Structure 1
Amino acid sequence: MIITLSNRKRGKDVMPLEVNILGYNHKQETIDRPRGMSLYQWFYCERGSGALTVDDQRMVIREKQGFLLHPHVTHTYRPLSDDWTVHFVGFKGPMCATLLMQLGMYDSGAYYFSDPDFFRDRIADMFHLYMRDRQDHNGIAAACFHLLLGLSERISQVEHIGTYNANPIVDRAISAIERRYMEPLSIEDIAAEAGVSNEYLCSLFKKTVGQTVHHFLTVTRIVNARLQLLQFPDRPIADIATDCGFRSASHFCSVFRKHSGSTPAKYRQTANISDLHN
């Protein structure tokens, strides 16, 4: 469900913060905005997964993750699964830039949510306020302000996999990796989904992305493993290894140590949510 709110002015002055659009349990379609929007936008992924590209930086958005978009930032987002469902709010006003800077929301991009219920509940509150009184702009703005204040303590920016210039063949290959990294995925499988030969894909991928297909697949698995180690501190490492596409726990530990500088167990003991920035 999406609600678009009409702007309200007080005399000649716009409200310092006003909500312009709300989305709740919205099955997200593909959006491509070369010039961005005039709004700030916060999204939270309730189900499924999607791909976000911001200024040529590509990120995958999964459950318990979301993303922030600043005004006039080039962006594209599209579903990677049929059930990609999001909640979101779009807002603007003269106080927004200063407020977001003070709250540490400096960058457009993907974020991890340590308390998913908080975002969902605040969006639901704004929907209830709107349904009760569609003219209660002050109440909805106050609820959005509460959302931003609380959200600042519940988010951490997620690292992105890489930056590259768009290419449809490479896009298809990366989409295959993002959707199937948990499988025993081969170069042949990825090339087949991209619709080209193995040799052509490997050459084009390295030229476009600056790394090999195999390295990109490995880093994708490591990034998702790091996230699971932090999200699910009691989950067996062997299960995480399997879920992230590694052939065994020992193989996972070896690759993880090479890329992260420590074993998965040590990383889990010493890391915290802020380490997702690194």
Structure 2
Amino acid sequence: MPIKFRSTPVSEPLTFDSIGNSWNQEDLSRPEGYPLYHYLQTEKGTGRITIQGKKYILNEGEGVLIAPFISHSYYRQTEEWMTSFATFTGVIESSISTMLGNRQVIFIEKEQGTKISALIANVMEKYENPPVDVKLLSIDCYCMLMNFVDGIYTNDLINDPLYQRYIDPVIKEIETHYDMELTVQELSGQVFITPQYLSRLFSRFLGCSAYEYLTTYRINKAKEFLLIYPRMKVEDIAQRVGFLDASHFIARFRKITGITPLEFRKLNRSYS
């Protein structure tokens, strides 16, 4: 049951935080979701996955990519359920959602799953022959993510008129001006709807409220600053990502990641 975890600081644009195959998958429940984008694919047997209350079956060769902090659980449907998986990180981790069309869940069918299985096996082989070239791993990570980029366009939600009219322009505004004093009130006003309706649309399409999306985007940008600029003060990073109060920034960072900004920076230094 091979599984590999990242053992170096996050210095590449994109990389695997963990990856594995031939894994005897156990039942598990994550009411608060997982803190990174992660992919699960059935190698043998059948599993049932519940995502935000909706149940799906993963047959052999089928997989699913789930965004951070999306509630889910796994249960085996057959006596033996073997899986492969990967979790994704990197200094531009916050750009993954944009790459994926801001989708929270992407299902992969067997044909595409065969390609992803081959990529995972190739990465696992590289880990078996150290030293591992972290730049090549970053390229492999990007190539794997591109499989999910292909997959998003098979779903019609991204072309929904409500998404195009209200969600897409708000996301672009957040990505462009996250460092400014944005509020849900202001964002909803730009597309001429109420804050409550905007948040309902975000929940429908992205699985989170508009405020949660804005806050998570800012925290992900803060992670980049913490790693790219190791001498930059936390107070300055807070301002750079749109928080006027450093204490509020630290509290939100800890609530989302489970650790403080300085602990995050120290943790990612400790691997060197």
1:11-43 superposed Cα distances (whole Å, 9 cap, x missing partner): xx7432221211212121111112222221112
For residue 6 of structure 1, what is the aligned residue in structure 2? 6
2:9 is aligned with 1:46: no
Q: Which fold has the larger relative contact order, with Cα–Cα distance below 8 Å and residues 6 or more apart in sequence? A: 2
For residue 147 of structure 1, what is the aligned residue in structure 2? 144
Counterparts of 2:125 and 2:33, CA distance in 1: 29
Aligned match of 1:120 in 110, 117, 120?
Answer: 117
Query: 1:158–1:74: structure 2 CA closer, same or farther, 3 Å change rule?
Result: farther
For residue 131 of structure 1, what is the aligned residue in structure 2? 128
Query: 1:30–1:109: structure 2 CA closer, same or farther, 3 Å change rule?
Result: farther
Query: 1:95–1:118: structure 2 CA closer, same or farther, 3 Å change rule?
Result: same
TM-superposed deviation, 1:7 = 4.2
Amino acid at match of 1:66: G
Aligned match of 1:61 in 51, 58, 67?
Answer: 58
Aligned match of 1:86 in 77, 83, 89?
Answer: 83
Aligned match of 2:18 in 5, 18, 21?
Answer: 21
Counterparts of 1:130 and 1:37, CA distance in 2: 24
Counterparts of 1:83 and 1:127, CA distance in 2: 22
Aligned partners of 1:45 and 1:61 also within 8 Å: yes
The 4+ residue runs of structure 1 with deviation greater than 4 A are 154-159
Q: In structure 2, the residue corresponding to 1:144 is in which secondary structure?
A: helix
Q: What are structure 1's unaligned runs of at least 5 residues? A: 160-278
TM-superposed deviation, 1:158 = 11
For residue 108 of structure 1, what is the aligned residue in structure 2? 105
Aligned partners of 1:38 and 1:72 also within 8 Å: yes
Q: In structure 2, the residue corresponding to 1:132 is in which secondary structure?
A: coil
Q: What are structure 2's unaligned runs of at least 5 residues? A: 158-272
Counterparts of 1:35 and 1:126, CA distance in 2: 29
What is the percent sequence identity of the aligned residues?
22
Q: In structure 2, the residue corresponding to 1:120 is in which secondary structure?
A: helix
Amino acid at match of 1:84: W
Q: In structure 2, the residue corresponding to 1:64 is in which secondary structure?
A: coil
Counterparts of 1:125 and 1:153, CA distance in 2: 20
Q: In structure 2, the residue corresponding to 1:153 is in which secondary structure?
A: helix
1:231-262 superposed Cα distances (whole Å, 9 cap, x missing partner): xxxxxxxxxxxxxxxxxxxxxxxxxxxxxxxx
For residue 256 of structure 1, what is the aligned residue in structure 2? none
Aligned partners of 1:25 and 1:87 also within 8 Å: yes
Query: 1:98–1:141: structure 2 CA closer, same or farther, 3 Å change rule?
Result: same
Aligned match of 1:76 in 73, 76, 79?
Answer: 73
1:176-198 superposed Cα distances (whole Å, 9 cap, x missing partner): xxxxxxxxxxxxxxxxxxxxxxx
Aligned partners of 1:104 and 1:152 also within 8 Å: yes
Aligned partners of 1:111 and 1:158 also within 8 Å: no
Aligned partners of 1:52 and 1:78 also within 8 Å: yes
For residue 169 of structure 2, what is the aligned residue in structure 1? none
Q: In structure 1, the residue corresponding to 2:104 is in which secondary structure?
A: coil
TM-score, structure 2 as length reference: 0.51
Aligned length: 156
Aligned partners of 1:110 and 1:157 also within 8 Å: no
Aligned partners of 2:15 and 2:90 also within 8 Å: yes
1:213-234 superposed Cα distances (whole Å, 9 cap, x missing partner): xxxxxxxxxxxxxxxxxxxxxx
Aligned partners of 2:70 and 2:104 also within 8 Å: no
Counterparts of 2:65 and 2:51, CA distance in 1: 10
Query: 1:56–1:150: structure 2 CA closer, same or farther, 3 Å change rule?
Result: closer
Q: Which has the higher helix share?
A: 2
